[in-house]
Amino acid sequence: MKTYKDLPADGGSNIVGQVTQQVNRLQQRLASVRHTVAIMSGKGGVGKSSVTANLASVLGLRGHNVGVIDADINGPSIAKMMGVRGQRIDYGDDGVKPAISPLGVKVMSMDLFLKDDETPVLWESQTQKDAFTWRGTMEMSALREFLSDTEWGSLDYLLIDLPPGTDRLPNLVDLLPNLGGTVVVTIPSGVSQLVVKKSLTMAKKLLNAPVIGIVENMAAYVCADCGKTEELFPSGNTEEMASQFEVSLLGKIPFDPRISIAADEGSVFVDQYRDTPAGQTFFSITDEIRMFFESQI
């Protein structure tokens, strides 16, 4: 009897062939992107999306061609923060045209595909239980499509806003073998930093890319009236964490309600409030990131 090896390799289902084709398409698309940066944290709600949106805007203000991809398929927020929620998207000659922010940043997010703000991301499936089991794979397929089917054109920077946690990191390596680096967002609370440390370890282990640095968000509260600074979360120590992991601390963004308000309005905080402490910090963090890449050449 013939064995597995004796049989011609093509049983006819062509699954691997199609997956290979998907990979090729992705590589072709990303060939015109100079630097891809993933924004991550182990913890939810620490400000990954806000940091991503503002860094992207600063890069845009600095004259770079910038794209942002919302990899938080299940809890998309980038479209709203970048002021592109509700923009209609359509086919171009070579894929789908991204939404464009007021500063010219190209944006692709699940938000843009949903009917309205209240609509959750539900995949068609036999049962909702199936949908739940398959959610991870569906999300990764969606992210692959966002990466490879968007007409990014040539970009200096493509920022990727990751969902909270480390569950998706292994998949990210498959999708982005040439990831330029990661930025890890934390807040200065002890509990949060424990979680962020775990994800730093995971990122170092799993991703084939350096950690560019840590951003401490909601570092302190600067009063808009009198400029007085109050600590918000006294227990953590980001400096210590940075030195323990031998990564740089890119900056400390104070808590500023206007970041939140701007995000809700879809206006650009860093443009409107350039001269506030938070605004300045976004600029200096961005410059650190630019220097990180420029020093590599």
Ligand X SMILES: Nc1ncnc2c1ncn2[C@@H]1O[C@H](COP(=O)(O)OP(=O)(O)OP(=O)(O)O)[C@@H](O)[C@H]1O
Phi, psi of 185 (to 5 degrees): -100, 135
Cα–Cα distance measured from residue 158 to residue 56, given in angstroms and rounded to the nearest whole number: 9
Candidate residues 26, 42, 50, 67; the one interacting with ligand X per rule CB under 6 A: 50
Q: Please say whether the beta carbons of 183 and 49 come within 8 A.
A: no
Q: Which partner, other proteins, ligand X, Mg ion, none, binds residue 217 by CB below 5 to 8 Å per kind?
A: ligand X
Cα–Cα distance measured from residue 57 to residue 51, given in angstroms and rounded to the nearest whole number: 10
| Number of C-beta neighbours around residue 120 at 10 A | 7
Under the binding rule (CB under 5 A), the answer on residue 49 touching Mg ion is yes
Query: Which residue from 181, 55, 174, 162 is spatially nearest to 109, judged by alpha carbons?
Result: 162
Under the binding rule (CB under 6 A), the answer on residue 228 touching ligand SF4 is yes
Query: Which residue from 37, 25, 34 is spatially nearest to 68, judged by alpha carbons?
Result: 37
Under the binding rule (CB under 6 A), the answer on residue 257 touching ligand SF4 is no
Q: Please say whether the beta carbons of 240 and 196 come within 8 A.
A: no
Under the binding rule (CB under 6 A), the answer on residue 141 touching ligand X is no
Candidate residues 33, 37, 38, 46; the one interacting with ligand X per rule CB under 6 A: 46
Report CA torsion sign: 245, 250, 255, 260. negative
Q: Which partner, ligand X, other proteins, Mg ion, none, binds residue 256 by CB below 5 to 8 Å per kind?
A: ligand X
Under the binding rule (CB under 6 A), the answer on residue 232 touching ligand SF4 is no
Under the binding rule (CB under 6 A), the answer on residue 69 touching ligand X is no
**Where in 59-88 is the site for Mg ion (CB under 5 A)?**
72, 77
Residues that bind other proteins (CB under 8 A): 1-2, 4, 7-22, 43-46, 75, 88-91, 93-96, 110, 112-115, 119, 121-126, 130, 132-138, 140-142, 145-146, 149, 164, 167, 170-171, 187, 191-192, 195, 257, 260
Question: Which tokens is 138 given?
Answer: 């569906």
Contacts of 189 (CB under 8 A, 6+ apart): 233, 235, 236
Instruction: Identify the helix (H) or strand (E) that includes residue 58.
Output: helix 48-61
Q: Which partner, ligand X, Mg ion, other proteins, none, binds residue 137 by CB below 5 to 8 Å per kind?
A: other proteins
Site string for ligand X, 149-188 (x = CB under 6 A): ---------------x------------------------
Binding site for ligand X (CB under 6 A): 44-50, 72, 75, 77, 164, 217-218, 253, 255-257, 259-260, 263
